């Protein structure tokens, strides 16, 4: 008599051969994807690493590294033309940051509070500058200023940068405004506050982390921007990015490597600050705030 042995309820059952094969394929590392990813990052960051390395070159050569030296950083500090362009870029970035943040906050509040078809249409139009090639925006801004008879100068660069940056601030803050509970603002008005007081004392403090983070991000974007500044700036003083482009047309100087390295370090520092600001207020990660999630 043959006894049929049933598997015990507590004994572990061995997976079938097909299941083990699928688990083995799932646990296997995607080596091809890892290689493609490594190649992508190498092509993206290797030229930047070479620029940073040769900014410390003791020789004037751009191909032969003769040892570490701060020679080109000292040359940058004593270059009055480059320092003047650096000051121009800082002024443009500060004005563009302040203007775009003020207008972006007002637009975000208006688009969320205005629940009409016109508000939805305005929200879609606000996204157009984000997908429009920047060179098109730069040429259009230049033609607009020329058509109005406005001479290109630092002021025209500021106006163009503010116009271009408003969309970034509005997109970031719009989701944050939509996430706020409107009943809190209504409760403030029930207690005697006017609408402006409710916005100033309740809504704006709640938006402060996102406002500061987007302001720092806009500062970094405007400071590094070249295309829009190139089409809307005058002869002099020129922003730093345009000055660097003008300089390399006559040959790349090692000083440019030092300037580029400092700009890269400053941009990384500003982006890190923008990501860290929400955590200072006990909020979620900066990526969530900046992405508007």
Domain membership flag for residue 187:
yes
Instruction: Quote the DSSP letter at residue 292.
Output: T
Question: What is the number of structural domains in the chain?
Answer: 1
User: What is the share, in percent, of the chain residues with pLDDT greater than 90?
Assistant: 13
Q: Name the pLDDT band for 55 (thresholds 50, 70, 90).
A: confident
| CA–CA distance, 35 with 232 (Å, rounded to integer) | 42
- Whether 134 is in a domain gets the answer yes
Q: Tell me which residue range forms the domain holding 143.
A: 71-280
Residue that wins the pLDDT comparison between 15 and 129: 129
- Asked whether the beta carbons of 210 and 172 are under 8 A apart, the reply is yes
CA–CA gap between residue 105 and residue 120 (Å, rounded): 17
The answer to the question of residue 176 being in a domain is: yes
Residue scoring higher pLDDT (182 or 134):
134
Please tell me which residue, 89 or 118, carries the higher pLDDT value: 89
Distances (CA, A) of 69 to 55, 74, 235, 254, 263: 8, 10, 34, 12, 19
Look at residue 22 in the predicted model and tell me its pLDDT.
Answer: 66
Asked, for residue 56, whether it belongs to a domain, the answer is no
What confidence score (pLDDT) does residue 288 get?
58
Whether 147 maps to a domain, the answer reads yes
Residue 5 included in any domain? no
Give the tens place of pLDDT for each residue, 58-76. Answer: 888 777 888 888 888 888 8
Query: What residue has token string 């900014």?
Result: 55
Give me the pLDDT at residue 285, please.
54
Q: In the structure, what pLDDT confidence band is assigned to residue 91 with cuts at 50, 70 and 90?
A: very high
Share of the chain above pLDDT 70, in %: 85
- pLDDT at residue 104 is higher than 60: yes
pLDDT of residue 1: 43
End-to-end CA separation in angstroms for the chain: 68
Structural domain contains residue 42: no
In a domain, 8, yes or no: no
Domain containing residue 111: CATH number: 1.10.3720.10
Task: Please state the φ and ψ torsions of residue 21, each to the nearest 5 degrees.
Answer: -65, -40
């Amino acid at each position: 008599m043959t006894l049929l042995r049933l598997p015990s309820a507590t004994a572990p059952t061995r997976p079938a051969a097909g299941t083990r094969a699928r688990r083995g394929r799932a646990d296997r590392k995607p080596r091809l994807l890892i290689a493609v990813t490594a190649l992508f990052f190498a092509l993206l960051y290797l030229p930047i690493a070479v620029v940073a390395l040769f900014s410390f070159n003791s020789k004037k050569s751009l191909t032969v590294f003769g040892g570490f030296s701060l020679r080109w950083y000292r040359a940058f500090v004593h270059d009055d033309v480059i320092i003047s362009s650096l000051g121009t870029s800082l002024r443009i970035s500060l004005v563009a940051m302040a203007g775009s943040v003020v207008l972006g906050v007002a637009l975000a509040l208006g688009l969320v509070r205005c629940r009409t078809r016109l508000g939805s249409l305005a929200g879609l139009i606000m996204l157009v500058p984000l997908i429009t090639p920047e060179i098109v925006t730069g040429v259009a801004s230049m033609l607009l200023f020329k058509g109005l008879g406005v001479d290109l100068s630092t002021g025209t660069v500021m106006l163009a940068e503010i116009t271009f940056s408003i969309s970034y601030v509005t997109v970031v803050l719009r989701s944050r405004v939509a996430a706020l509970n409107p009943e809190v603002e209504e409760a403030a008005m029930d207690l005697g506050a006017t609408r402006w007081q409710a916005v100033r004392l309740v809504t704006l403090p709640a938006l402060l982390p996102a406002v500061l983070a987007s302001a720092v991000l806009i500062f970094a974007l405007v400071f590094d921007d070249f295309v829009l500044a190139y089409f809307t700036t005058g002869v002099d003083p020129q922003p730093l990015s345009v000055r660097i482009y003008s300089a390399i047309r006559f040959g790349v100087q090692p000083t440019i490597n030092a300037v580029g390295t400092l700009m890269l370090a400053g941009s990384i520092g500003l982006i890190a600050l923008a990501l860290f600001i929400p955590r200072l207020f006990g909020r979620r990660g900066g990526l969530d705030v900046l992405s508007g999630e």
